[in-house]
A and B are shown apart, each in its own frame.
Chain A
Amino acid sequence: MNRRVLLVTTAALLVPGMVWAHGPTRQKVTLTAEVAASPEEVWTVVGNFDDMSWHPAVFATEGKGGNEIDATRLLTLGQEDGPTIDEVLYKFSDDKMSYSYRITDVAVEVLPVTNYSSHLTVKPRDGGGSIIEWRGAFYRGYPNNDPPAELNDEAAIAAVTGVYQAGLDALVERFGAAS
């Protein structure tokens, strides 16, 4: 296991693995990384909703409204003309070093989720450095029963986990692993 990313937890609502008679259940993914830099230093880099350049998969961020509630951003992934994700900010706190956002538009081919919301939080770490926590809740990309494999719960969890892992790995690279 990658020691830099400490915690990965996922679970379906209420009864994992249960076949619900009424469509998909909400999934939750939490990833955490510990870095050597102070929370303030990390927050300076990740704490602007309109700048996601710290994530290696993000080619460009086009933000409107800064860090105000209801600010939006358009992420372009990979390259110019790459796939895009529209997001909206619904909570922001410099004090708590945390912001929360929702995806308002993304193709399931790009990220196989629906009704996605996420929190990004930086906290002080016991013994120095910071803990960066990235948490998401979402439904799989296929809204009905019997989803195809690429749009099932596992695919959704794997995709979100991959996005978080890549982002946190880059931050560990940038700030150094906590020791």
Chain B
Amino acid sequence: MRWSSVLVRQASRLFTLPAAISASMALAETAFITCQNGEELSRIDLSEMQETARWPLPGKPAGVAAGLDGTLFTVSPDSKTVRRLSSETGETIAQVVLDGGPIGIVLDSTGGRVFVSDWYNARLWVLDGENLEVLTELPTGTAPAGIAISADGRFLASANKDADQVSVFDAETLQSRHRITVGIRPFGLRFAPDGRLFVGNVGSNDVSVIDVDTGTVTATVPVGERPYGIAFAQGHAFVTNQYANTLSVFSLKTLEHEALIEVGEYPEGIDATARQDLVVVANWFDNTVSIVDPKALSVIETIETCDGPRAFGSFLKGGRQ
């Protein structure tokens, strides 16, 4: 994003929001880290580079989805609870207990829906984004875990871990479009800005690159041991290697390996800011987040967080158009 557009946006928010303080809050890049062991949610301000709140969040939370407008959703697999939270206070606004094994979550920012994967029952739940009522269910392959929606809102995808498969749906009509065989035990996945779908295969230590229009795997990129999550910034893909304590970095253009970045131990959830100026990684064993400069390809900050951070999903909000 250009500086000029940031300033324009800042000015317009100053006039439309009731208080200047709200405007600065809305603009701040903020990370929401789900901590499974500590059963807490940690809020980290990325301009201040510090934790600004830590709220109780029961049920061993893992999945998280932060919306563009401050909406925030979490999944607690142990209590099978999906919550909609206030990103200002951490208070629960709505919640639902689902019958199954909810894990991954993603928002449909245009349609007001929330999609949740059911690890036990090979399906996705489609929830109303306001009250979390179940609207419908979509069948997938066995053990769907990671779940993602394309930037243009056209496609919804899940990584079906025990089926070695990805399900792709038309996000609008909810019709099944493809079931695509990928590497071994796909877990995390994300759409790149150019629309391609990247899927980390924890069993084969590689990333499958998918053309979602044709439903074909166009490339397979080797990464480190046990790739868990994927994020994109500055023309690079960043993959957390859970067992190697590193990020693999490869070029979105050439798919060639570019760098290996040492992060904390057992890196899991990963996300990039909308401005693509930071990549944030949750380190499950260290109880830290690593902040990576995606241009310099180096860690610039390590911030303490709650016990057992997973941050499985899109956990950054703010700074977006």
Q: Do A and B come from one complex?
A: yes
Q: Chain A: residues with CB nearer than 8 A to chain B?
A: 9-11, 13-18, 21-22, 26, 28, 30, 100, 117, 119, 135, 137
Determine the chain B residues whose CB is within 8 A of the CB of A21 once the complex forms.
143, 162
Contact of B43 with A by CB under 8 A: no
- B308 with A9: CB separation less than 8 A: yes
B280-317 interface code vs A (CB 8 A; 1 in, 0 out):
00001111000000000000000000011010100000
Determine the chain A residues whose CB is within 8 A of the CB of B312 once the complex forms.
14
Q: How far is the CB of B140 from chain A (nearest CB, A)?
A: 15
**For the complex of A and B, 4 pairs with smallest distance between CB atoms:** A15-B77, A11-B37, A137-B285, A9-B37
CB-nearest residue of chain A to B102: A15
Once bound together, how far apart are the Cα atoms of A137 and B308, in whole Å?
Answer: 10
Given contacts A15-B78, A28-B285, contact A22 B203 (CB under 8 A): yes
- Contact for A10 among B37, B119, B203, B286, CB less than 8 A: B37
Determine the chain B residues whose CB is within 8 A of the CB of A15 once the complex forms.
60, 62, 77-78, 101, 103, 119
B side interface size, CB within 8 A: 24
- A14 with B307: CB separation less than 8 A: no
Contact of B38 with A by CB under 8 A: yes
Once bound together, how far apart are the Cα atoms of A119 and B146, in whole Å?
Answer: 30
Determine the chain B residues whose CB is within 8 A of the CB of A9 once the complex forms.
37-38, 307-308
Query: Can you show 16 pairs from A to B with CB atoms below 8 A apart?
Result: A10-B37, A11-B308, A13-B36, A14-B77, A14-B103, A14-B312, A16-B60, A17-B78, A18-B77, A18-B119, A21-B143, A22-B162, A28-B285, A28-B307, A100-B265, A137-B284
Determine the chain A residues whose CB is within 8 A of the CB of B307 once the complex forms.
9, 28, 30
- B38 with A16: CB separation less than 8 A: no
Q: Is the interface of B mostly helix, strand, loop or mixed?
A: loop
Given contacts A11-B308, A30-B37, contact A137 B265 (CB under 8 A): yes
Q: Chain B: residues with CB nearer than 8 A to chain A?
A: 36-38, 60, 62, 77-78, 101, 103, 119, 143, 162, 185, 203, 265-266, 284-287, 307-308, 310, 312
- A28 with B37: CB separation less than 8 A: yes
Q: How far is the CB of A74 from chain B (nearest CB, A)?
A: 24
Once bound together, how far apart are the Cα atoms of A9 and B78, in whole Å?
Answer: 15
- B265 with A11: CB separation less than 8 A: no
Once bound together, how far apart are the Cα atoms of A43 and B81, in whole Å?
Answer: 42
- B308 with A28: CB separation less than 8 A: yes
- Contact for B60 among A11, A22, A100, CB less than 8 A: A11
Determine the chain B residues whose CB is within 8 A of the CB of A17 once the complex forms.
78
- Contact for A18 among B37, B101, B162, B287, CB less than 8 A: B101
Once bound together, how far apart are the Cα atoms of A117 and B310, in whole Å?
Answer: 18
Once bound together, how far apart are the Cα atoms of A13 and B78, in whole Å?
Answer: 11
Once bound together, how far apart are the Cα atoms of A135 and B266, in whole Å?
Answer: 13
Determine the chain B residues whose CB is within 8 A of the CB of A28 once the complex forms.
37, 284-285, 307-308
Once bound together, how far apart are the Cα atoms of A17 and B59, in whole Å?
Answer: 12
CB-nearest residue of chain A to B266: A137
Q: How far is the CB of A169 from chain B (nearest CB, A)?
A: 21
Q: How far is the CB of B245 from chain A (nearest CB, A)?
A: 10
Once bound together, how far apart are the Cα atoms of A74 and B311, in whole Å?
Answer: 37
Determine the chain A residues whose CB is within 8 A of the CB of B101 once the complex forms.
15, 18
Determine the chain B residues whose CB is within 8 A of the CB of A18 once the complex forms.
77, 101, 119
Given contacts A22-B185, A28-B285, A30-B307, contact A14 B36 (CB under 8 A): yes
